[in-house]
Amino acid sequence: MATEEIEVNDGRAKGLNFVEEEVRSDLAAGKNGGRLSTRFPPEPNGYLHIGHAKAICMDFGVAEKFGGTCNLRFDDTNPVKEDVEYVDSIREDIHWLGFDWGDREYYASDYFPQLFDLAVRLIKEGKAYVDDQSSEEIAKQKGTPTTPGIESPFRNRSVEENLDLFMRMNAGEFDEGSRVLRAKIDMTSPNMHFRDPIMYRIIKTPHHRTGTTWKVYPMYDFAHGQSDYFEGVTHSICTLEFVVHRPLYEYFVKELADESYCPRQIEFNRLNLTYTVMSKRKLLQLVKEGLVAGWDDPRMPTISGMRRRGYTPASIRNFIDTIGYTKYEALNSVSLLEHAVRDDLNRIATRVMAVLNPLKVVITNYPEDKVETVTMENNPEDPESGVHEMPFSREIFIEHDDFMENPPKKFFRLAPGSEVRLKGAYIIKCEDVVKDSDGNIVELHCTYDPETLSGMPGATRKVKGTLHWVSAKHAVDAEVRLYDRLFEVENPAAETERDFREMLNPESLRVINHAKLEPFIVANMERGAKFQFQRVGYFTPDYDSTPEHPVFNRTIALKDTWEKVQKKG
């Protein structure tokens, strides 16, 4: 949508969040010659998570809305933690969410030469110095917000000595941690970030793009604003923890900018989710320690985990729209995300039948070799979705939980002597319960009413329960993975007394080895397919699935079972 098309009312545009409102008014005021350029700046030190999706929707979304562009810029300033594997995954995830950066893929490392030149200039102007102290010593001298810091004994070195030392730092003459380059600003500033912040540190690990060219690497604060400037970014949108960095951002950018153009930083609240941790450091720990099966484990809050689990891009974007953007930190309920997932899957998932915990039913009055096909609607929410056929025969499977030998009063499923309808097929009546020598129920003997199929006189006969089922001899065995929330504690990050790994939900994965699927599912289980196993939940084929060994992930149950648990308790 172009700017002109946005409906404006009393000078304020309708339906815009506060960042979009700022962007709109900058454009209206003719700032930056009416140009809009944003960027999404991930550090390639891990996979993207749902929090990043919120930033992506903002950065790309505002550019789309106002006819601007959004760059993808990898903030690759720390070779120790970064890797091309992460670069590739980040690209894939952004595309999957539905956004594109065209040919505007940039790297902070592209700007290392200009940043180095700027550092040299600042040294020459007496605005930067080499400090021989360790970072621990430097931290001790920082002071507190109410007490001033202590000036470094190296603060007043000559320009010549500083230049010589900085060049030798970059030539690899000194050990990591032995020296840093600091900005000479103000050790008494009420803003702690102004107390001679570190600009460069020595790192000898080769960089995934620049190899061994550099031995000094810029800190975030010395790289980010300038990178924005070099790229012509007009609005640098980030999260609230950067509010306190903004004066320093502006301080360094002013060393480059003139009046004609200067990028502007605007901050919004991070996404925090209940029953989830969002720190990349913790997610990396889960992966490294094998507590999950990888970054794309379907229980992870990563984009790749959610994709593998069967979440859709639309559901993630709708969720982010629902929670919106504010200037206040909040904890959002994961139920809202799950609601968005159900909503979208309800719209698109193909209805099928699968039995997770099978109990065999023999229909004793049905001919032994007879097979009928019944017709099933693919999706009542989508008139275009059509129908598919399902075989019916003398032996079927139903869900074990759908039978009770001694049922309570309001049990409307199958019990001795009671009747139920098999969805899309006949009404059956339970005549006999077959048990093994330990007393376990192994089989039911039922009879069917042949007049109750669709189109027959008894088709409309009412019974209280309707069950899902599959024909035993046509059913295909599958492994089914039932996922639940990864943490059992509402806000793991707030529990500072306990290690976050102690709060993992031991029930977050349950595997069922011999679920029974109707054959249609197996014939249509391409990657990314979305199914509703009727009465059971939403499912998608896992990446491990093969035609010989189908594997399905439960994306989500049909109802929010946690909500019930909480209300009860």
Q: What amino acid positions are annotated as catalytic residues?
A: 43, 270, 280
Alpha-carbon dihedral angle through residues 340, 345, 346, 352, given to the nearest 10 degrees: -150
41 binds ligand ATP (CB under 6 A): yes
205-244 footprint of ligand ATP as x/- string (CB under 6 A): ---------------------------------xx-----
Burial label, 426 (beta-carbon count in 10 A; 0-12, 13-18, 19+): buried
| Among 16, 20, 47, 54, contact with ligand ATP (rule: CB under 6 A) | 54
63 binds ligand ATP (CB under 6 A): no
51 binds ligand ATP (CB under 6 A): yes
Region from 196-204, 273-281, 336-344, 467-475 binding ligand ATP, contact rule CB under 6 A: 273-281
Of the pair 235, 280, the CB lying nearest ligand ATP is at 280
What is the distance between the alpha carbons of residues 377 and 158, in angstroms, rounded to a whole number? 81
CB of 245 to ligand ATP, least distance (A): 11
Alpha-carbon dihedral angle through residues 490, 496, 499, 503, given to the nearest 10 degrees: -10
CB of 494 to ligand ATP, least distance (A): 15
Region from 23-31, 41-49, 132-140, 146-154 binding ligand ATP, contact rule CB under 6 A: 41-49
For 307-311, which contacts have Cβ atoms below 8 Å and span 24 or more sequence positions? 307/93, 307/96, 308/542, 308/543, 308/553, 309/483, 309/540, 309/553, 309/555, 310/345, 310/530, 310/538, 310/539, 310/540, 310/553, 310/555, 310/556, 311/341, 311/555
| Among 16, 27, 36, 55, contact with ligand ATP (rule: CB under 6 A) | 55
The footprint of ligand ATP on this chain (CB under 6 A) covers a number of residues equal to 15
What is the distance between the alpha carbons of residues 118 and 394, in angstroms, rounded to a whole number? 81
Pairing of strands 427-435, 387-392: unpaired
Q: Judge whether 240 and 268 are in contact, CB under 8 Å.
A: yes
Region from 40-48, 133-141, 323-331, 537-545 binding ligand ATP, contact rule CB under 6 A: 40-48
Region from 47-55, 248-256, 481-489, 548-556 binding ligand ATP, contact rule CB under 6 A: 47-55
Of the pair 225, 541, the CB lying nearest ligand ATP is at 225
Looking from the CA of 485 toward its CB, the CA atoms found within 13 Å total 21
Region from 39-47, 311-319, 322-330, 451-459 binding ligand ATP, contact rule CB under 6 A: 39-47
Residue with tokens 């803003």: 191
CB of 84 to ligand ATP, least distance (A): 15
286 binds ligand ATP (CB under 6 A): no
Of the pair 54, 215, the CB lying nearest ligand ATP is at 54
User: Exposure string (b/e) for 135-170, b if CB count within 10 Å is 16 or more?
Assistant: eeebeebbeeeeeebeebebeebeeeebbebbeebb
491 binds ligand ATP (CB under 6 A): no
- Which residue has the closest beta carbon to ligand ATP? 51
Pairing of strands 466-467, 419-422: parallel
CB of 276 to ligand ATP, least distance (A): 10
81 binds ligand ATP (CB under 6 A): no
Of the pair 65, 245, the CB lying nearest ligand ATP is at 245
42 binds ligand ATP (CB under 6 A): yes
| Among 62, 122, 278, 475, contact with ligand ATP (rule: CB under 6 A) | 278
**Biggest distance spanned by C-alpha atoms of the chain:** 102
For residues 242-271, which are near ligand ATP according to CB under 6 A?
270-271
| Among 3, 210, 279, 385, contact with ligand ATP (rule: CB under 6 A) | 279
Q: Where are any strands of DSSP class E within 138-251?
A: 180-183, 198-202, 216-218, 235-239
Helices (H), 255-365: 280-288, 303-309, 313-323, 334-348
What is the distance between the alpha carbons of residues 224 and 387, in angstroms, rounded to a whole number? 55
| Among 22, 34, 43, 318, contact with ligand ATP (rule: CB under 6 A) | 43
Q: List interacting residues with ligand ATP (CB under 6 A).
A: 41-43, 51-52, 54-55, 75, 238-239, 270-271, 278-280
